[in-house]
A = this chain, B = another copy of it.
Amino acid sequence: MERVEIAHTDHYERVMKALTGGGLLLAANDATGRPNAMTIGWGAIGSIWSMPVWIVLVRPSRYTYQCIEHGDCFTVNVPASGMDQALAICGSRSGRDGDKLADSNLTAAPAVEVPAPTFKECPLVYECVVVHRNDVQPAALIPEIANGPYANGDYHRLYYGRILATRAAANAADLL
């Protein structure tokens, strides 16, 4: 899919709807250069340290955690409507176990600004380099969160990715 540079604030409502709906694809290469992706349903976009940033959360148990720790960059790929099966596979299977991208019918292609993969099927992609990371602090969570998503520990690391490029298909608004 041909993409052109847009502002990182464009399409925000659609992106948030996708994030909290079926999810987005957080992608990074592993240490051998093999593309990997996981489905994310949480994150934030803003401007911090005078830089546009995507904040993504990854549990240390995830293969994506190893990938981002290794490469210090990632992409956030917004799927087209109808890509539910890819989101389901990338949200439930680990990249450690077989080629889940092929099973998801996702076609990896290099990003423009960072050594991380993007997926040709996704109409909107953010390319990010990690400029900071910190961790969820167990003692500073309200009980609803501590006893909900962290009932079994595995506290997220938060990655603050400076958005170096936001690229979208010309008809992204129709596809998202």
Q: Hey, which bits of chain A sit against chain B, CB under 8 A?
A: 7, 9-10, 12-13, 16-17, 19-20, 41-50, 53, 55, 57, 131-137, 140-142, 144-145, 148-149, 158
Contact = CB atoms under 8 A, between A and B. Distances in A.
Given A10-B13, A48-B57, 10 more contacts: A7-B13, A9-B16, A12-B12, A19-B47, A42-B47, A43-B46, A44-B47, A44-B48, A44-B53, A45-B45
A6 to B, nearest CB: 12
A149 B47 CA distance: 14
Contact of A133 (B42, B137, B158): B137
Nearest to A133: B140
B42 A48 contact: yes
Given A9-B16, A12-B13, A44-B55, A49 B132 contact: no
A135 B44 CA distance: 17
